[in-house]
Structure 1
Amino acid sequence: MKKHWFIVLLAVLFEILWVIGLKHSHSIWAWSGTAIAVVFTFYLLLLAGRFLPVGTVYTVFTGLGTAGTILVGVLFFGESLSIAKILLLAILLVGVIGLKTVTSHEAKDGAA
Protein backbone atom coordinates (compact mmCIF):
# COMPACT_ATOMS: atom_id res chain seq x y z
CA MET A 1 0.00 0.00 0.00
CA LYS A 2 2.90 2.38 0.64
CA LYS A 3 3.80 2.20 -3.03
CA HIS A 4 0.32 3.44 -3.94
CA TRP A 5 0.68 6.45 -1.63
CA PHE A 6 4.08 7.08 -3.21
CA ILE A 7 2.29 7.21 -6.57
CA VAL A 8 -0.06 9.86 -5.12
CA LEU A 9 2.95 11.89 -3.92
CA LEU A 10 4.50 11.61 -7.36
CA ALA A 11 1.23 12.87 -8.86
CA VAL A 12 1.37 15.80 -6.43
CA LEU A 13 4.87 16.71 -7.65
CA PHE A 14 3.69 16.66 -11.26
CA GLU A 15 0.65 18.73 -10.30
CA ILE A 16 2.90 21.39 -8.79
CA LEU A 17 4.94 21.40 -12.00
CA TRP A 18 1.99 21.88 -14.31
CA VAL A 19 0.28 24.48 -12.13
CA ILE A 20 3.50 26.53 -12.08
CA GLY A 21 3.81 25.81 -15.81
CA LEU A 22 0.40 27.37 -16.46
CA LYS A 23 1.73 30.71 -15.25
CA HIS A 24 5.29 30.56 -16.52
CA SER A 25 5.05 28.82 -19.89
CA HIS A 26 5.85 31.18 -22.74
CA SER A 27 6.96 28.82 -25.49
CA ILE A 28 5.59 25.80 -27.28
CA TRP A 29 8.11 23.59 -25.48
CA ALA A 30 7.10 24.82 -22.05
CA TRP A 31 3.41 24.43 -22.92
CA SER A 32 4.11 20.91 -24.20
CA GLY A 33 5.87 20.03 -20.95
CA THR A 34 2.95 21.44 -18.99
CA ALA A 35 0.46 19.37 -21.01
CA ILE A 36 2.53 16.21 -20.53
CA ALA A 37 2.66 16.88 -16.77
CA VAL A 38 -1.15 17.25 -16.69
CA VAL A 39 -1.68 13.94 -18.49
CA PHE A 40 0.91 12.13 -16.34
CA THR A 41 -0.64 13.57 -13.14
CA PHE A 42 -4.06 12.22 -13.91
CA TYR A 43 -2.68 8.89 -15.10
CA LEU A 44 -0.96 8.50 -11.71
CA LEU A 45 -4.17 9.47 -9.90
CA LEU A 46 -6.17 6.90 -11.86
CA LEU A 47 -3.56 4.27 -11.04
CA ALA A 48 -3.57 5.06 -7.30
CA GLY A 49 -7.38 5.27 -7.24
CA ARG A 50 -7.60 1.63 -8.28
CA PHE A 51 -6.00 0.56 -5.00
CA LEU A 52 -6.81 3.32 -2.50
CA PRO A 53 -10.06 5.05 -1.48
CA VAL A 54 -10.63 7.58 -4.25
CA GLY A 55 -12.06 10.29 -1.99
CA THR A 56 -9.04 10.19 0.28
CA VAL A 57 -6.63 10.05 -2.66
CA TYR A 58 -8.19 13.12 -4.24
CA THR A 59 -8.27 15.03 -0.96
CA VAL A 60 -4.62 14.27 -0.21
CA PHE A 61 -3.71 15.11 -3.81
CA THR A 62 -5.44 18.49 -3.84
CA GLY A 63 -4.37 19.46 -0.33
CA LEU A 64 -0.70 18.64 -0.81
CA GLY A 65 -0.76 20.07 -4.32
CA THR A 66 -2.17 23.34 -3.03
CA ALA A 67 0.36 23.56 -0.20
CA GLY A 68 3.23 22.60 -2.50
CA THR A 69 2.24 25.12 -5.15
CA ILE A 70 2.07 27.91 -2.59
CA LEU A 71 5.46 26.96 -1.13
CA VAL A 72 7.09 26.80 -4.56
CA GLY A 73 5.61 30.21 -5.39
CA VAL A 74 7.00 31.69 -2.18
CA LEU A 75 10.43 30.04 -2.39
CA PHE A 76 11.14 30.40 -6.10
CA PHE A 77 8.92 33.17 -7.47
CA GLY A 78 8.85 35.74 -4.68
CA GLU A 79 5.16 35.44 -3.88
CA SER A 80 4.04 36.84 -0.54
CA LEU A 81 3.50 34.75 2.58
CA SER A 82 1.40 36.13 5.41
CA ILE A 83 0.52 34.80 8.84
CA ALA A 84 -3.03 34.20 7.62
CA LYS A 85 -1.78 32.18 4.64
CA ILE A 86 0.47 30.08 6.91
CA LEU A 87 -2.39 29.46 9.34
CA LEU A 88 -4.78 28.44 6.57
CA LEU A 89 -2.18 26.13 5.03
CA ALA A 90 -1.66 24.51 8.43
CA ILE A 91 -5.41 23.96 8.80
CA LEU A 92 -5.53 22.46 5.30
CA LEU A 93 -2.66 20.09 6.05
CA VAL A 94 -4.15 19.04 9.39
CA GLY A 95 -7.37 18.15 7.56
CA VAL A 96 -5.53 16.18 4.88
CA ILE A 97 -3.42 14.29 7.42
CA GLY A 98 -6.47 13.67 9.59
CA LEU A 99 -8.48 12.26 6.69
CA LYS A 100 -5.65 9.97 5.67
CA THR A 101 -5.24 8.81 9.27
CA VAL A 102 -8.90 7.86 9.75
CA THR A 103 -9.22 6.17 6.37
CA SER A 104 -9.17 2.37 6.44
CA HIS A 105 -5.73 0.88 6.00
CA GLU A 106 -7.07 -1.95 3.88
CA ALA A 107 -6.17 -1.67 0.20
CA LYS A 108 -8.67 -2.56 -2.48
CA ASP A 109 -8.00 -5.74 -4.38
CA GLY A 110 -7.36 -3.79 -7.58
CA ALA A 111 -10.68 -4.54 -9.23
CA ALA A 112 -11.98 -1.59 -11.20
Structure 2
Amino acid sequence: MEWIFLVIAGFLEITWAVTLKFTEEFTRFWPSIFTGAAMLGSVFFLDLSLRSLPIGTAYAVWTGIGAAGTAIIGMLWLGEPRAIGRMVCIFLIIAGVIGLKLNL
Protein backbone atom coordinates (compact mmCIF):
# COMPACT_ATOMS: atom_id res chain seq x y z
CA MET A 1 0.00 0.00 0.00
CA GLU A 2 2.90 2.35 0.72
CA TRP A 3 3.99 2.30 -2.94
CA ILE A 4 0.47 3.30 -3.97
CA PHE A 5 0.61 6.20 -1.51
CA LEU A 6 3.98 7.19 -2.95
CA VAL A 7 2.68 7.17 -6.53
CA ILE A 8 -0.33 9.29 -5.47
CA ALA A 9 2.09 11.69 -3.76
CA GLY A 10 4.15 11.86 -6.95
CA PHE A 11 1.13 12.64 -9.12
CA LEU A 12 0.05 15.35 -6.67
CA GLU A 13 3.61 16.70 -6.92
CA ILE A 14 3.14 16.97 -10.69
CA THR A 15 -0.26 18.60 -10.15
CA TRP A 16 0.98 21.36 -7.88
CA ALA A 17 4.06 22.04 -9.99
CA VAL A 18 2.01 22.46 -13.16
CA THR A 19 -0.83 24.43 -11.56
CA LEU A 20 1.67 26.74 -9.85
CA LYS A 21 2.21 28.26 -13.29
CA PHE A 22 -1.42 29.38 -13.36
CA THR A 23 -1.52 31.05 -9.92
CA GLU A 24 0.23 34.17 -11.26
CA GLU A 25 2.29 34.56 -8.06
CA PHE A 26 -0.66 33.40 -5.97
CA THR A 27 -2.82 36.33 -7.09
CA ARG A 28 -5.49 34.10 -8.70
CA PHE A 29 -7.69 32.58 -6.00
CA TRP A 30 -8.84 29.21 -7.38
CA PRO A 31 -5.59 28.17 -9.01
CA SER A 32 -3.83 29.12 -5.76
CA ILE A 33 -6.25 27.08 -3.64
CA PHE A 34 -5.92 24.09 -5.97
CA THR A 35 -2.12 24.34 -5.95
CA GLY A 36 -1.99 24.59 -2.16
CA ALA A 37 -4.31 21.60 -1.75
CA ALA A 38 -2.16 19.54 -4.13
CA MET A 39 0.97 20.54 -2.16
CA LEU A 40 -0.57 19.45 1.13
CA GLY A 41 -1.91 16.24 -0.39
CA SER A 42 1.47 15.41 -1.88
CA VAL A 43 3.27 15.74 1.44
CA PHE A 44 0.48 13.87 3.25
CA PHE A 45 0.71 10.86 0.94
CA LEU A 46 4.51 10.98 1.06
CA ASP A 47 4.24 10.76 4.84
CA LEU A 48 1.90 7.76 4.58
CA SER A 49 4.39 6.00 2.32
CA LEU A 50 7.08 6.37 4.97
CA ARG A 51 5.35 3.80 7.18
CA SER A 52 7.58 1.15 5.65
CA LEU A 53 9.68 2.74 2.90
CA PRO A 54 13.12 4.18 3.59
CA ILE A 55 13.12 7.99 3.46
CA GLY A 56 15.90 8.11 0.87
CA THR A 57 14.07 5.82 -1.51
CA ALA A 58 10.68 7.45 -0.97
CA TYR A 59 12.04 10.96 -1.43
CA ALA A 60 13.98 10.03 -4.58
CA VAL A 61 10.92 8.34 -6.12
CA TRP A 62 8.62 11.22 -5.10
CA THR A 63 10.84 13.89 -6.61
CA GLY A 64 11.58 11.71 -9.65
CA ILE A 65 7.91 11.24 -10.44
CA GLY A 66 7.36 14.96 -9.92
CA ALA A 67 10.32 16.08 -12.03
CA ALA A 68 9.77 13.69 -14.92
CA GLY A 69 6.00 14.10 -14.96
CA THR A 70 6.15 17.88 -14.82
CA ALA A 71 8.71 17.99 -17.64
CA ILE A 72 6.60 15.66 -19.79
CA ILE A 73 3.46 17.73 -19.24
CA GLY A 74 5.43 20.86 -20.01
CA MET A 75 6.53 19.39 -23.31
CA LEU A 76 3.13 17.99 -24.26
CA TRP A 77 0.81 20.81 -23.21
CA LEU A 78 2.79 23.90 -22.28
CA GLY A 79 4.97 24.29 -25.36
CA GLU A 80 8.28 23.56 -23.66
CA PRO A 81 11.24 22.37 -25.76
CA ARG A 82 11.28 18.73 -26.88
CA ALA A 83 15.01 18.37 -27.41
CA ILE A 84 16.29 14.82 -27.63
CA GLY A 85 18.80 15.40 -24.84
CA ARG A 86 16.01 16.53 -22.56
CA MET A 87 13.94 13.45 -23.35
CA VAL A 88 16.92 11.16 -22.70
CA CYS A 89 17.45 12.77 -19.30
CA ILE A 90 13.76 12.36 -18.41
CA PHE A 91 14.01 8.70 -19.45
CA LEU A 92 16.99 8.31 -17.11
CA ILE A 93 14.98 9.77 -14.22
CA ILE A 94 12.16 7.31 -14.92
CA ALA A 95 14.66 4.45 -15.17
CA GLY A 96 16.10 5.48 -11.82
CA VAL A 97 12.67 5.49 -10.18
CA ILE A 98 11.93 2.02 -11.58
CA GLY A 99 15.34 0.84 -10.43
CA LEU A 100 14.67 2.04 -6.89
CA LYS A 101 11.36 0.17 -6.85
CA LEU A 102 12.91 -3.04 -8.13
CA ASN A 103 15.85 -2.95 -5.73
CA LEU A 104 14.04 -2.31 -2.47
Residue type of the alignment partner of 1:42:
V
- TM-score, length basis structure 2: 0.89
1:64-86 per-position Cα deviation (integer Å, ceiling 9, x unaligned)? 11110011111111111111001
> RMSD between aligned alpha carbons?
1.2
Q: Distance in 1 between matches of 2:57 and 2:18?
A: 24
- TM-score, length basis structure 1: 0.83
TM-fit CA distance, 1:100: 2.1
Structure 2 residues not aligned, in runs of 5+:
none
Residue type of the alignment partner of 1:22:
L
TM-fit CA distance, 1:4: 1.4
Residue type of the alignment partner of 2:97:
V
Q: Distance in 1 between matches of 2:12 and 2:92?
A: 23
Max radius of gyration: which structure? Answer: 1
Q: Distance in 1 between matches of 2:46 and 2:99?
A: 20
Residue type of the alignment partner of 2:13:
E
Q: Residue 80 of structure 2: SS of its match in structure 1?
A: coil
Q: Distance in 1 between matches of 2:65 and 2:90?
A: 10
Residues paired across the two proteins, number:
101
Give 1:73's aligned residue: 74
TM-fit CA distance, 1:92: 1.7
1:17-68 per-position Cα deviation (integer Å, ceiling 9, x unaligned)? 1001211124111101111110111011011111212211111111111110
Q: Residue 21 of structure 2: SS of its match in structure 1?
A: helix
Give 1:106's aligned residue: none
Give 1:24's aligned residue: 22
Q: Distance in 1 between matches of 2:75 and 2:88?
A: 15
Q: Distance in 1 between matches of 2:60 and 2:31?
A: 28
Give 2:5's aligned residue: 7
